[in-house]
Structure 1
Amino acid sequence: MVAANPAGIAAAVAAAKSGAKVIVLEESAHVGGIIAAGLTNADIRKHGAVGGLYNEFKRRIVEHYTTTYGANSRQVKVCKNGTMMEPHIAEKVFRDMLVAEKNITLLQRQRVVSARVKHDAGERNAIPGKRIDGAAPKEFGPKVKLASITAEDLSNPGTQTEFRAAVFIDCTYEGDIAALAGVPYRVGRESRTTFGEPHAGHIYVRFKDYNPLPGSTGAADDGIQAFCFRFHLTKDKSNSVPVEKPSSFDRHDYQHILSQIAEGKITRFTQVIQLYEMPNSKFEVNSDHPHQDTGVPAESLDLAEENWRWPEAGPTEREHIFNRYWSHNEGLVWLLQNDPAVPLSIRNEASQWGFPKDEFTDHRHRPHHIYVRQGRRIWGEYTLTENDARPVFETGLPARFADGIAVTEFEFDSHAVRKYDPAFPMLRPGYFFIAHDPFQLPYRIMVPKCVDGLLVPVACSASHVGYQTLRMEPVFMALGEASGIAATASLDEKTEVRGVNVSAVRKEIINRGGVILFENTALKPEDL
């Protein structure tokens, strides 16, 4: 198992509960991925659409706040049944879930650097997977079986360990292990014609409007949606450290915000970023979209285009992108607190906020993970697209899959792909937000072309548009749990994971409180 993010934790716990012995390799010194790094406002609308280990996580969050502060406390109320929490509490709960399973061994600061595969002639070093954008080729090439991966101990550079297993699960946000093992993958946006998706390719759409505007060519490109940090802020002076001016601060980054301030369109700090209340006087921060009635804010924390290289980048380049994004994000808050062109009323409002002193204590109270909203997407045995949400004529509901093992219910939600264009003042290029009924995710999206012995529940098989509904952490946990159950079932059945009895996997998911079908709600006006 690679990556101790929510999907990886769910996969490990699910496999361990089935009796398998599990090794979890994590590159950082933390567990919990982006949730433990600040994404503590759960991206889920219909809470009955995800169950299983995600529900256990929520229960443990509520239990923590109840035990620590009392059942009638403000903390319990604000945590909203376990869907809102402090980052360090999220990490604690995730770590507790791993520790509770005696069959799990967690190894941190381990970076996977190579892989070996079995083939008809024996065993060899894996040939990295090819990037194949656009429509699927007629042939993907011969199959191999992932035999081992080798990881370097980042705490002892130069020390490497080979890990052999019957089944591997790649839970990295970027699909790094799949690519190392030889799985073909895609990055960027398909054209509108590739899969016949209305919102594919180069597109301009206003907030909560489904109609592409003139200039939307639908052409393919290398674009992925913008990243940002999901850091936390507090007004509690006894538990805060100040925002600092980054050494690489570039005022030009915020030219459009400064223009909207000068025009009087922005008059409050909270018009530039979104704030969500968490327990203990903390607020999670997110980038905001231009509102359809004002076009404010033109820019926010999302930094489009500068992350396009991230999915295929090596560690050094990713570190450079990470630092650039943090400089931009902290720089925006600093600007609103200090720049003389910002009205005093906004500066005073912004200056009330600082970083919580008790969060990210080993990282200067700044997040240790950036929000990778999408990385590689493997070519799997099924490709999920926008069309999978279309209602079937006979039922009026999306189609069911015979191998459906989870449900996705969040909107097709893509943040900007390209930087703000003043020629389109009410939107950001590449953004869309398309509501749909909940629909099933087939097991096949986790099963890669060409490589056996591997499941990929995060960087799974989908078009750019299709990925934007399933990229939410509760869904990743559901897919991770399904992959852990399937991996163990393949061992019991003595078969490859691509040939596992999915019916039995589905039954086991249900036995554990998971959800594989959710059709008891239709779109409501407030969903649109």
Structure 2
Amino acid sequence: MAFAALACIPLVSIASAERHTADVVVYGDASGGVTAAVQAARMGKSVILVSQYGHLGGMTSSGLGWTDIGNDAILGGLSREFYHRAYQHYLKDEAWVHEAREDYSNQRQGAGKALDPEKELASTFEPKVAEAIFDGMVEEAGVKLIKGRLDFDRGVTASGSRISTMHLEGGDEAAGKMFIDASYEGDLMAAAGVSFMIGRENNSEYGETGNGNTGVARKNQLPNGIDPYKVAGDPSSGLLDGVNADAGGEPGEGDHRLQAYCYRMVLTDLESNRVAVTKPAGYDEADYEILFRAIEAGQKGGFFKTSMMPNRKTDSNNTGGISCDYIGMNYGKDWNWATLSHAEREKLGEKHRDWQLGLVWTVQNHPRVPEGIRKAYARWGLAKDEFPDNGHWPHNIYVREARRMESDFVMTEDHCKRKKPVDDPVGMGAYTLDSHNTQRFVHKGMVKNEGDIQTHLGGKPYGISYRSIVPKEEECGNLLVPWALSSTHIAFGSIRMEPVFMVLGQSAATAACIAIDLDTTVQKVPYEKLRERLLADDQRIE
């Protein structure tokens, strides 16, 4: 998808090759990349933030405005500052363009108010508001922002086990003393030769109960009775596209599969701000045969969420057995999203986009969809005042999981459940152990989903280890990884939430600055010194 210039912050051109140098180089313009860059700058270091999309905020500004958090108590420092700034925005009368403040439902995920006057936090917000807040934080901190993507062919230049330079497409270079990989894919980590994992571990590997193959998913499941064959009842016609002959393993067994991705669509039912969804080019109704059969088997709703954000806009995520998740379309036998080139990811992202747009169009218009369902969904369209440079479609696909670093310490289910201690926390998580479905397969002659698991933690925060965001010292001594951190699949299902990414981004930058001051590796940063600074900056770590 094409780059577009940020509205508020001038980007350094990479039309001609240029070498950029700073104390700290952050790769990745998502929410945790922003907090990392801002924290390092506030600690007096020169900072380069490399923006792959030309828009700051990642998923937080790409439609995920219905915040997954679990417990507000984990918010401190820059993460709390972000949600507080969002709250302050909606105190202004001019913020309410498409509805009156008193008409907003003010509902959020979980208990409490979306715009909470007691805590002065906003857990729901519009994408363009989130992006403007991130723009302001970066600009105020004096971060040098450049647009570019890691050149996968040239990767990084290293001296021993330390990165000296990362190479960008087009010839630009970013050199620094410390590097932070804030990409969702863990691209810089991989380029540096750091060990990583992709897929699901066996439950037995770390003594877990929620990892590996789930068997027939307990939630977000298809109704019974969906025939798996292209011609119903005729095995010789072959299986429907996207349906496997079996689950490919027993429950608890590990595999290469990734939980499904989707775009968090921003929809509205307000006519003055609504862009109707049209049939995508290349639309093929065969791609929606499972949808048709699910409706025939009794599914009447749950095709996409309409969680309300301010100004009559939605955060429309996956819900139900067939919905926004394009299940099984982010990996294959010998490839996955993380191993693709940038161009290949763009092409696959466009395929996901068209499939989701086609889903909405089908539910609203197709004659095989009952009239009652068509009418119920007909009012929704894309929000005209969001993502105007990208066809009103989010810039980031929701990469729920890709690479995960394999370090000396691995966060597991038992750490999240507080059955095992974490003695060097640099942040906390509290959200459900959450994985979306990974595949569709034939079970007892019917199409079923596999991979969904949601284990609630009761909102009890748990610590996230500093050792889980640093590589093995022999692999790289000046890199921190706040999102694609060292964790099992199921533990990552909780840690991966955007508020936690912001927390860990700030903590990673704090450690990077201390390592520079002490002229040491990130692995040798004294935890007590790191802890002292985190607490001074109001990070919540216990």
Deviations 1:269-325 (A, max 9, x none): xx2221110111111101013xxxxxxxx3111112210210111112211210111
Aligned mates of 2:82, 2:273 — CA distance in 1 = 26
Partner of 1:108: 147
Q: Which amino acid counterpart does residue 231 of structure 1 have in structure 2? A: M
Of residues 268, 290, 294, the one that matches 1:234 is 268
Partner of 2:299: 266
The answer on whether the counterparts of 1:62 and 1:76 sit within 8 Å (CA) in structure 2 is no
Change (3 A) 1:499 1:77: farther
Deviations 1:8-27 (A, max 9, x none): 01111111111111000011
Aligned mates of 2:481, 2:388 — CA distance in 1 = 32
Aligned mates of 1:68, 1:46 — CA distance in 2 = 29
The answer on whether the counterparts of 1:409 and 1:438 sit within 8 Å (CA) in structure 2 is yes
TM, length-normalised to structure 1? 0.84
Change (3 A) 1:312 1:424: farther
Deviations 1:92-138 (A, max 9, x none): 01111111112x1111244444201112xxxxxxxxxxxxxxxxxxx
Partner of 1:520: none
The answer on whether the counterparts of 1:6 and 1:477 sit within 8 Å (CA) in structure 2 is yes
Are positions 1:303 and 2:326 aligned together? yes
Mapping for residues 142-221 of structure 1, pairs under 5 Å: 144-152=161-169, 158=170, 160-204=171-215, 205-207=217-219, 216-221=250-255
The answer on whether the counterparts of 1:208 and 1:432 sit within 8 Å (CA) in structure 2 is no
Alpha-carbon shift at residue 75 of structure 1 (Å): 7.8
Partner of 1:369: 396
Q: Which amino acid counterpart does residue 334 of structure 1 have in structure 2? A: W
Q: Which amino acid counterpart does residue 200 of structure 1 have in structure 2? A: N
Are positions 1:17 and 2:42 aligned together? yes
Stretches of structure 2 lacking an aligned partner (at least 5 in a row): 1-25, 107-113, 116-120, 222-246
Alpha-carbon shift at residue 414 of structure 1 (Å): 0.1
Q: Which amino acid counterpart does residue 168 of structure 2 have in structure 1? A: A
Q: Percent identity?
A: 32
Partner of 2:410: 383
Mapping for residues 328-367 of structure 1, pairs under 5 Å: 328-367=355-394
Of residues 386, 389, 413, the one that matches 2:434 is 413
Mapping for residues 497-512 of structure 1, pairs under 5 Å: 497-512=522-537
Alpha-carbon shift at residue 192 of structure 1 (Å): 2.0
Partner of 2:134: 94
The answer on whether the counterparts of 1:226 and 1:303 sit within 8 Å (CA) in structure 2 is yes
Are positions 1:321 and 2:348 aligned together? yes
Partner of 1:122: none
Deviations 1:371-409 (A, max 9, x none): 000110111221111122345xxxxxx443221111111
Alpha-carbon shift at residue 217 of structure 1 (Å): 3.1
Stretches of structure 1 lacking an aligned partner (at least 5 in a row): 120-143, 153-157, 290-297, 392-397, 518-528
Alpha-carbon shift at residue 338 of structure 1 (Å): 0.7
Q: Residue 183 of structure 1 aligns to a residue in which SS?
A: coil
Aligned mates of 2:403, 2:445 — CA distance in 1 = 29
Q: Which amino acid counterpart does residue 469 of structure 2 have in structure 1? A: M
Aligned mates of 2:402, 2:492 — CA distance in 1 = 10
The answer on whether the counterparts of 2:415 and 2:421 sit within 8 Å (CA) in structure 1 is no
Partner of 2:309: 278
Aligned mates of 1:76, 1:373 — CA distance in 2 = 29
Mapping for residues 136-147 of structure 1, pairs under 5 Å: 144-147=161-164
Aligned mates of 2:124, 2:408 — CA distance in 1 = 35
Change (3 A) 1:305 1:328: same
Partner of 1:73: 101
Are positions 1:489 and 2:489 aligned together? no
Change (3 A) 1:3 1:219: same
Q: Residue 302 of structure 1 aligns to a residue in which SS?
A: coil
Q: Which amino acid counterpart does residue 219 of structure 2 have in structure 1? A: F
Partner of 1:250: 284
Partner of 1:224: 258
Q: Residue 362 of structure 1 aligns to a residue in which SS?
A: helix
Change (3 A) 1:237 1:445: same
Aligned mates of 1:348, 1:217 — CA distance in 2 = 40
The answer on whether the counterparts of 2:211 and 2:490 sit within 8 Å (CA) in structure 1 is yes
Alpha-carbon shift at residue 427 of structure 1 (Å): 6.3
Change (3 A) 1:68 1:315: same
Alpha-carbon shift at residue 503 of structure 1 (Å): 1.4
Aligned mates of 2:204, 2:50 — CA distance in 1 = 39
Alpha-carbon shift at residue 214 of structure 1 (Å): 13
Are positions 1:430 and 2:451 aligned together? yes
Aligned mates of 1:483, 1:214 — CA distance in 2 = 38
Mapping for residues 383-402 of structure 1, pairs under 5 Å: 383-391=410-418, 398-402=419-423
Q: Which runs of 4+ in 1 moved over 6 A?
A: 424-427
The answer on whether the counterparts of 1:65 and 1:75 sit within 8 Å (CA) in structure 2 is no
The answer on whether the counterparts of 1:173 and 1:375 sit within 8 Å (CA) in structure 2 is yes
Change (3 A) 1:386 1:427: farther
The answer on whether the counterparts of 2:414 and 2:420 sit within 8 Å (CA) in structure 1 is no
The answer on whether the counterparts of 1:411 and 1:468 sit within 8 Å (CA) in structure 2 is yes
The answer on whether the counterparts of 1:245 and 1:334 sit within 8 Å (CA) in structure 2 is yes
Alpha-carbon shift at residue 420 of structure 1 (Å): 5.7
Change (3 A) 1:239 1:424: farther
The answer on whether the counterparts of 2:148 and 2:168 sit within 8 Å (CA) in structure 1 is no
Aligned mates of 2:485, 2:417 — CA distance in 1 = 20
Deviations 1:475-521 (A, max 9, x none): 1111101001111111111211110012121122122121101xxxx
Alpha-carbon shift at residue 430 of structure 1 (Å): 1.0
Aligned mates of 1:378, 1:502 — CA distance in 2 = 20
Partner of 1:525: none
TM, length-normalised to structure 2? 0.82
Aligned mates of 2:183, 2:531 — CA distance in 1 = 24
Q: Residue 172 of structure 2 aligns to a residue in which SS?
A: strand
Aligned mates of 1:497, 1:94 — CA distance in 2 = 26
Partner of 1:64: 89
